[in-house]
Amino acid sequence: MLTCIFHPINPMRTLEEDEAEHLIASGVWFDSPAKAKQYREKVEDKIKQEAKAAKPKAKQPKGKSDERQ
């Protein structure tokens, strides 16, 4: 029997049920578009958090300005 599977960034695919189950087991294909969207949002939030953590603000030494003359 044919079934649809959904990916966070790739288009929907229609496959035989056994092939679909194999891809769903991989963890990045889902049986509903809502689950795929939720996974994408989770990954995007994680990337944003990692980017914030990787950019510590540099402190300026006292008496120094960042203005270029």
Q: Which residues are within 8 A (CB) of 33 and not within 5 positions of it... i.e. 6 or more apart? A: 6, 12
Query: What is the value of pTM for the model shown?
Result: 0.70
pLDDT tens-digit series, residues 28-57:
999 999 999 999 999 999 999 998 888 766
Q: Which of helix, strand or coil describes residue 15?
A: strand
Considering only CA atoms, which of 5, 33, 9 is closest in space to residue 19?
5
Query: Alpha-carbon distance 48 to 31, whole Å?
Result: 26
- The residue ranges of DSSP E strands in 1-69, in sequence order, are 2-5, 13-16
Q: Which amino acid is at 21?
A: E
pLDDT tens-digit series, residues 51-61:
888 876 666 66
